Structure 1
Amino acid sequence: MIQPLYRILIELTNGRWTSFLLKRFARSRVSRLIVPSFARIYHLNQEEMEKELKDYPTLHDLFIRTLKNEAREIDPSIDAVVSPVDAVIEDIGTIKETSQIEVKGKVYSIEEMLGDQEVLKKYLNGTYMILYLSPSHYHRIHSPVSGKVTKQWTLGTKSYPVNKWGLKYGVRTLAKNYRVISELMTEFGHVAVVKVGAMFVNSIETTHQGTELEKGEEMAYFSFGSTVVLLFEKGIFRIDSLIQPPYDIKVGQKIGVLNKG
């Protein structure tokens, strides 16, 4: 009975007022009462949390929890690209010359997603990867590569569900939802990290300051479940042969390697 209720409230809510009320409730002290049941329903790994369950004052604090330092190991190989999030890799493919990609039978425009034709040019015929975070996942976002942040910008005003049903039945959610985009320049080429909101405006908080990012360093966090889209410049990325979507992955695990384009 509890699980369907959580699903309705957290995974499927997209109305302006219902999202506002949920956001307000999740940040209220009252929400602490459901922290234990939420952790149980979504099978949260309490052993890796930095705090004990009783120490989270609100449901929101549980969502944006940090982990113990040793909970995630970052692949140290210089050319390795690592997962920026705990997630399910839902799709991988090539960005067409037209800037289109197809996800769950729906066509998306990378041009619309990025909102910048000059930036887009770098990624035509490159690779995209879609990583979906459910409410059960750790919600901090880390850099998949080491590099310099050359540009960061925000687009979109509303956010709708980006789970598999949202991707299948929604209207261009990945390209229209509220999103924060960071472009990094590595010694191999450009990588864009598109952080896509899933519930309501400003559900993405940036935590990194400065222009330099080390692989595995925290960049931002999501409030509630959402999606990260990685974009790689043409010819610089080769996916790990073991990865076949849908594929469960954790922060720091190798998803592929970079090579000179």
Structure 2
Amino acid sequence: MKQKIYQSLIELTNGPFSAGLIKKLTHSKFSKYLIKSYARHYRINLEEMLEDINSYENLHHFFTRKLKDTVRLIDENPDSIVSPVDGVLEDIGKIEGNSTIIVKNKVYSISEMLGGNERSAKYSEGTYMILYLSPAHYHRIHSPIDAKIVDRYSLGSRSYPVNRLGLKYGNSTLSKNFRTVSELDHNGKLMAMVKVGAMFINSVEIINQGQKWKKGEEVAYFSFGSTVVLLFEKNSFKLNEDITVPSEIKVGQALGKLNI
């Protein structure tokens, strides 16, 4: 019953009109006066920001703020997978042989998430990781490893919440929400980075369209709270022993390494 009520409320409130209102508000000059209260409410570390809090034109610019170069160190092991975002590691597990994962007791289809059986087959029996970004987090996305871009594409049209309630009660949010997929090749090993849009805002802005990414470099940003799903091939990824679920993760922090 709770799930049906939750889904009905989201369906009623999430549409082009409501999304447009949210976007208009966050881009308005008026929203500049909300920035300091927003920062206080979410306890944002102002010392990490590249710019002074008074310099942002609106809430959108503050939300997509950059950080100083020195506040996120990138792990230097050439085969390490680093976190592409600041966020919470919500889950990690095995991708089943039928290309499904179970998150918060809900089954998600990797085939649907990636847009087809052929795309998902290579990750069968591999590993998945889910990183959730709340409104309090830094929302720029960085490359998890030195890699060649094998493929990049977008799927979906609408977005629903991807927080704990969204994962628990939502309707296949990770595989149905608007999402952009980047498939990466590092020394012959493949991984997929799926950037999932959140409630109201579908925007995932890709700022690096190059065919090669350097580990730690900025490649995209979210325009609202969201989620990143990392997918690895079978027996290709080893998790760092000090990583636990759930836990706060920072950009550049080593999550594990590829077995080359």
Residue 256 of structure 1 aligns to a residue whose secondary structure is: strand
What displacement does 1:200 show? 3.4
In structure 1, runs of 5+ residues without a counterpart are 1-12
1:198 equivalent in structure 2: 198
2:140 equivalent in structure 1: 140
Residue 131 of structure 1 aligns to a residue whose secondary structure is: strand
Alignment of 1:122-161 (within 5 A): 122-161=122-161
Matched AA of 2:251: V
Matched AA of 1:193: M
- Tell me if 1:75 matches 2:62: no
2:3 equivalent in structure 1: none
1:4 equivalent in structure 2: none
In structure 2, runs of 5+ residues without a counterpart are 1-12
2:222 equivalent in structure 1: 222
Distance 1:131 1:180 in 2: 15
1:208 equivalent in structure 2: 208
Q: Percent identity?
A: 54
What displacement does 1:188 show? 4.8
1:33 equivalent in structure 2: 33
Residue 171 of structure 1 aligns to a residue whose secondary structure is: coil
Residue 54 of structure 2 aligns to a residue whose secondary structure is: helix
1:170 equivalent in structure 2: 170
Task: Confirm or deny: 8 A CA contact 2:147 2:214 kept in the other structure.
Answer: yes
Alignment of 1:84-103 (within 5 A): 84-103=84-103
2:117 equivalent in structure 1: 117
Residue 149 of structure 2 aligns to a residue whose secondary structure is: strand
1:249 equivalent in structure 2: 249
- Tell me if 1:14 matches 2:39: no
Task: Confirm or deny: 8 A CA contact 1:82 1:255 kept in the other structure.
Answer: yes
1:60 equivalent in structure 2: 60
Q: Deviations over 1:45-74 (max 9, x none)?
A: 100101010001100001100111111100
Distance 2:82 2:20 in 1: 34
What displacement does 1:19 show? 2.2
Distance 2:242 2:34 in 1: 38
Distance 1:120 1:163 in 2: 24
TM-score, structure 2 normalization: 0.93
Distance 2:14 2:30 in 1: 22
Residue 198 of structure 1 aligns to a residue whose secondary structure is: coil
Residue 131 of structure 2 aligns to a residue whose secondary structure is: strand
Distance 2:70 2:201 in 1: 32
Distance 2:188 2:253 in 1: 20
Distance 1:162 1:97 in 2: 25
Matched AA of 2:238: R
Residue 18 of structure 2 aligns to a residue whose secondary structure is: helix
Matched AA of 2:44: L
Distance 2:241 2:188 in 1: 20
Distance 2:106 2:169 in 1: 8
What displacement does 1:219 show? 1.3
What displacement does 1:18 show? 2.1
Task: Confirm or deny: 8 A CA contact 2:201 2:223 kept in the other structure.
Answer: no
Task: Confirm or deny: 8 A CA contact 1:160 1:166 kept in the other structure.
Answer: yes
List structure 1 segments (4+ residues) > 4 angstroms apart after TM superposition.
Answer: none
Task: Confirm or deny: 8 A CA contact 1:160 1:200 kept in the other structure.
Answer: yes
